Structure 1
Amino acid sequence: MCQAQEYADYKLSDYKLPDIKRSSLDFKLNSDGSFATHETSDNTVYDIKGAIDATFNRYCTTRKFIGDQSARIYFAGFKNNSTRDENGENYKQSNLSTEISYMNDSRFYIRPNTWFWFVGGDVSFTYYQNKVKETEKDLGILIRPKLGLGWGRIERVQDARQAVYLLDKFSDYGLMKKHLSNEEVNRFAQLISTVKNKRFLDSRLHLIDEITTVDSFLVANDYIRKEGAKYFTTLYDYWLYGDLHQRKSGFEVGLEGMPEYNYYTCSNFNQKNHEPGITVSLSAEYEKPINLRWQHSASLNFMFLYTHNTFEADYADKTVYEQSLEHLQETFFRLRL
């Protein structure tokens, strides 16, 4: 029978994620409305509103590539009608909000865990229209690509932490048949990483598949003795609550350039705002898991920012205001023990 805390010497920093590809689509739809009649004021009021929000996320990690992409489409509307306002006149209001955005962060490793170059950025389009007696329209466009070069790699190791938590707890209850080597612990942790990223439409069925897969692995390799409810209650408990905090390991330094263009216009007073700019940053990040409960984190970031803002509006007598901003942002340093 194995004794407790047999895996205290396991190093989370030795864990490497398996190849993972995960895609998810979150779709939200909501609507509500109200209708009321006030006999004393001879007034009828109704309003209706709704929203559609769809977000697609894709994450991929291999030894030569790490990619994180996200796309979002959002529509929302509102309409209100009252037969009598405070002046005894009909009152109508409607508005529409739209947002379309895309974000990409892709890293291509020239050699695993060494030099890499990264591309990506984000782009967004927003539109807002509000109509009472007159119609107000706002439009915003943001384009911000990025390109950079870096060295090193930050690895996500919370699945290895969860694997060791499970093995330690099984050992506490005398359920382990043998002590697992570091290689076997890594295989168990990689199984956890893989099963967590399988695609399911039903989260309940996903949980059932996760528990079944982990149980089958432990039984097939003759690692565990399933005696009573203690085994399954422990497995469920540490599966649901054993990975609540993200853990990382590694060192990474990068230099990136990010030009951007921000455009905004509003129909009120014909306001227009043009703001091109560029950001250059040099950053470093260090993550060191001391043990299952303690983590050292540090980051350093130097940033240079330049923007040129051009603003014009009718109330400014068609005068164009221009402003340039150029500064070296102060160093940011973070240390967590």
Structure 2
Amino acid sequence: MQSLKQYSGLFTVITLSFILLFSKSFGQNEFKLSDYQNPDYTYHALDLGFGLQSDNIINQTVDRQSVKQTSHQGAASFNASPTYHVAKNNVHYQGSTMLSMNLSGAWSRFTSENDQGINSRTKNRSGSYGVNLGYYSTNRYYNSKNQFIELIPMVHAGFNYFGQKFDNKPVTYPERDWNRSRSGQFDLAMALMLGKGRIEAVQDARLAVYILEDLQKSGDLSKQADSDDILALAYKITSVKNKRYFDARLRKIAEINAIDSLIASRGLKNTSGASYYTLLNDNWDHANGPLRSAGQRFSFGLVPQFSGSNHTDTYHYYDTVSGIPLNQHYSNENKYQTGAWGLDLKATYQCEKPVSLSWQHSGMASLAYGLYHSRNQIHIYEKNVLITEQENIDNTPNAYGIISHRVGYYPNSRTSLSLNASLAYSRYWGDSQYNQNAKIKNGRQYVDGVLQFNCRYYVSPQVRFSIDYLADYRYIRQVEYGSQGSNDIINSSNNFLSQLIASLTYSIF
């Protein structure tokens, strides 16, 4: 296929990058970030976000006939979002859990009327509320051979309601009295994986090197730190970072005190001056990043998925009965139901290699084969009588593969450069059935290549430069296979996106 040939160069670049990733020529004579392993820690955080908003608008207009029109609109809303997060790391376990809830509500009222004898008024009230729950957890359980069982449950459930009431004059039959919408959704997935290998976050070791290097240059160390000193400081940094504080200022005081005590206990602290504490504070605030990791990990397994949704729109009316001044009430209703399940067989390899304090290589390759089945149903009622019923059934087996490589260069805490290249291919085939009609076979193919460059370069205190570049090429091919002698329908498209953002800051004085 021509589109795949166009990506041969990009594929070659990524393959060569993987070779460089394992090349011994990238060794260094300095402290190795890959020597760092995180200490045991458990971090808990429970946060509550809450917001309120209220609006009130009054508007008056007078036309040429001196008719005054007055409108009044008022609205209020609230949002509450408690979130619980826990992260844990030890020799036998590595994982994190996020539990979130979102509660929301809104009310509004609108009235518009005039001050003349004309009986004209527009009035409506509305209200809505929603409840959404989310749960996501990554859990890897290790044995002594660095093999692991990985469980990744993902759950989402939500319910939303909207209602509106009308009171207009004069009445025009049929008159809508009220309407409401109700929707619920549930999604569940559970990844069951087996694998080997471990990836550790090592940016705390890089922060330890930054701190000790700056203190050495300023003469605030009594001796030069060795690898054991760096590791000890990195362990302390990770430990204090994962303690829970409710006051940011008290947290900062405790963290600086802990780092100061560790440096003193290692016999590294010289006579303290202002530069000692200012350098500690500056590095703690500004040298804590970017994320650096070390290690490799391979995993494979199954990912079953289930989802379902239900949405109902109801419209209530009242009308006259054959000209008799007697109102009849009735409702029209639209119901939408969706159910789906999927099963993926997936294999993923990840590698993180800090080849030096300044250079980072990150590689990833993943393959997946999946089954997917969905059923969509629509029921439309008028005056409580079913008039339309539709059903769509889709069976969509699919295959997916992606390979990517990222190179990062971080010479100091003010400068960062990264180049990322990725190539992804996905294919879907299967059939669709509308109501009781014959099944229609179809297929889709996607090829997506991305090249991304990011730069934050600190030339001097006066000159700072940044550039972001993104190139994304996507090829799409869709086929609907004909039946009973009809021709196949083939659609293809080529899309290219290029984006460049650059900025230069020069401080004259």
Normalised to the residue count of structure 2, the TM-score between the two structures is 0.63
Alignment counterpart, residue 54 of structure 2, candidates 33, 39, 45:
33
Structure 2 gap segments, 5+ residues each: 1-27, 62-68, 115-119, 165-177, 314-333, 381-386, 408-509
Q: What is the CA distance between 1:49 and its match in structure 2?
A: 0.5
Alignment counterpart, residue 308 of structure 1, candidates 365, 370, 373:
373
Q: What is the CA distance between 1:220 and its match in structure 2?
A: 2.7
Q: Give the Cα–Cα distance (whole angstroms) in 2 for the partners of residues 93 and 85 of structure 1.
A: 18
SS in 1 for 2:300: strand
Question: Which residue of structure 2 lines up, in the alignment, with residue 200 of structure 1?
Answer: 245
Bigger RCO (CA 8 Å, 6+ sep):
1
Q: Give the Cα–Cα distance (whole angstroms) in 1 for the partners of residues 150 and 128 of structure 2.
A: 40
Q: Give the Cα–Cα distance (whole angstroms) in 2 for the partners of residues 333 and 179 of structure 1.
A: 42
Q: Give the Cα–Cα distance (whole angstroms) in 2 for the partners of residues 8 and 176 of structure 1.
A: 22
Q: Deviations over 1:295-317 (max 9, x none)?
A: 00100000112110101102593
Q: What is the CA distance between 1:44 and its match in structure 2?
A: 2.1
Give the AA of the match of 1:55.
Answer: T
Q: Give the Cα–Cα distance (whole angstroms) in 1 for the partners of residues 59 and 31 of structure 2.
A: 72
Normalised to the residue count of structure 1, the TM-score between the two structures is 0.94
Give the AA of the match of 1:178.
Answer: K
Structure 1 gap segments, 5+ residues each: 1-6
Query: 1:1-337 to 2 correspondence within 5 Å?
Result: 9-40=30-61, 41-84=69-112, 88-111=121-144, 114-132=146-164, 133-268=178-313, 269-315=334-380, 317-329=388-400, 331-337=401-407
Q: Give the Cα–Cα distance (whole angstroms) in 1 for the partners of residues 90 and 228 of structure 2.
A: 19
> In terms of mean alpha carbon deviation, does 157-166 or 80-89 score higher?
80-89
Q: What is the CA distance between 1:228 and its match in structure 2?
A: 2.2
Question: Which residue of structure 2 lines up, in the alignment, with residue 3 of structure 1?
Answer: none
Q: Give the Cα–Cα distance (whole angstroms) in 1 for the partners of residues 271 and 354 of structure 2.
A: 32
Q: Deviations over 1:181-201 (max 9, x none)?
A: 322221110001001111111
Whether contact under 8 Å (1:84, 1:91) holds in the other structure is no
* Identical counterparts, % of pairs: 22
Q: What is the CA distance between 1:222 and its match in structure 2?
A: 2.0
Whether contact under 8 Å (2:79, 2:102) holds in the other structure is yes
Q: Deviations over 1:184-243 (max 9, x none)?
A: 221110001001111111121111100011011112332021442111111111011111
RMSD of equivalent CA atoms: 1.7
Larger Rg: 2
Question: Which residue of structure 1 lines up, in the alignment, with residue 422 of structure 2?
Answer: none
Give the AA of the match of 1:276.
Answer: W
Higher strand share: 2
SS in 2 for 1:317: strand
Whether contact under 8 Å (2:70, 2:113) holds in the other structure is no
SS in 2 for 1:180: coil
Q: Give the Cα–Cα distance (whole angstroms) in 2 for the partners of residues 118 and 54 of structure 1.
A: 27
Q: Give the Cα–Cα distance (whole angstroms) in 2 for the partners of residues 44 and 336 of structure 1.
A: 57
Q: What is the CA distance between 1:85 and its match in structure 2?
A: 7.9
Q: Give the Cα–Cα distance (whole angstroms) in 2 for the partners of residues 39 and 300 of structure 1.
A: 64
Give the AA of the match of 1:278.
Answer: L
